[in-house]
Amino acid sequence: MRVLTGIQPSGKLHWGNYFGAMRNAFALQQKGEAFLFIANYHALTTVRDGQRLREATRDVALDWLACGLDPEKTVFYRQSDVPEVQELAWYLSCITPMGLLERCHSYKDKLAHGMDATHGLFAYPVLMAADILIMQSDLVPVGRDQKQHLEVTRDLAIKFNNAYGDCFKIPEPYIPETVATIPGTDGQKMSKSYNNTIQLFEDLKSIKKKIMGIVTDSTPMEAPKEPEGNSVYELYKLFATPEEAAEMAAKFRAGNYGYGHAKKELFAIYERTFAPFRERREKLAADASYVEDILKAGAARARQEALKTMDKVRAATGF
């Protein structure tokens, strides 16, 4: 079973990335042949500074390696180091119905949040399909908001296979039922687009300030509170053992336990969980060539698979 995951270097990674994608990827690298790419082509829809993109790409690689990615078990590479992806995106574009892209709700949502209406943003699902299909992926972990894009990938693979013969595997989505939407500091889904994130490795003072600023209701401290649906409690549960989560829930329901108390506990459990990751990241960052060597080795392995697929596609389409 081949598993493929991508992550955009469009900003600092945050708690939503860790609990929504990273932990699942670390678990899946134990169960099959894992591929993970840094989607720097995709990031061009929002990042217009070359130096910033290069730095963000390295930061993303450091974050994943510090938090548990094993390059011996996962093919880890930059999207731009596999140029065949762009070639395949054109082949797929030529069989993609406009109506299929026009129905994608992610494009409309991003426009509603102020992003520019560019062709790159509109055609994002086609490039995503190329990322997935070129590696002949069996399973693709996606968030619920990306499920529609994977359905587009499946539709394009079937359409292409029907037109040209059996070139692609039809990938299946992997959406863990145990991971709900990660709330941001304002109660919406945590997302860089909404400027409501808590970064994985920012300064501890900054993280504490953001946690203490999480939006809550005005229920008095002495009053009992329902923990479920409360952003502070929902975030705490992500770090906590079932016993720790149950203890906080009981405190909320008993009363005389305020949101400020819960926020302090949330900061403490984050600090405890991420202390070893912070230490590992500092060590990795001190070796200037470490990340680059891993990404180059991963790209060499990824291109071997990409070229196998493109040999089929070129022959089938007449090139």
Length of the chain (residues): 319
Instruction: Show Cβ contacts of residue 9 under 8 Å, excluding neighbours closer than 6 positions.
Output: 38, 39, 40, 43, 47, 53, 56, 57, 59, 60
Does the annotation count 263 as an active-site position?
A: no
Catalytic residue among 110, 210, 225, 237: 110
Instruction: Identify the active-site residue in 192, 208, 210, 225.
Output: 192
Q: Which two tokens stand for residue 284?
A: 């990795």
CB atoms within 10 A of CB 217: 8
Q: Which long-range contacts (CB under 8 A, 24 or more apart) does 22-27 make?
A: 22/64, 22/67, 22/68, 24/141, 24/174, 24/176, 24/179, 25/69, 25/74, 25/141, 26/67, 26/68, 26/69
Q: Give the residue among 13, 55, 16, 61 at the shortest CA–CA distance from 38.
A: 61
CB 263 within 8 A of CB 211: yes
Interatomic CA distance for residues 131 and 4, integer angstroms: 9
Query: Is 308 designated active site?
Result: no
Measured between its terminal Cα atoms, the distance across the chain in Å is 30
Q: Which of 12, 159, 189, 264 is catalytic?
A: 189
If one counts every other C-beta atom within 10 angstroms of the C-beta of residue 251, the result is 19
Q: Is 31 a catalytic residue?
A: no
The H or E element that residue 217 is part of is none
Report, as residue numbers or ranges, the catalytic residues. Answer: 110, 189, 192
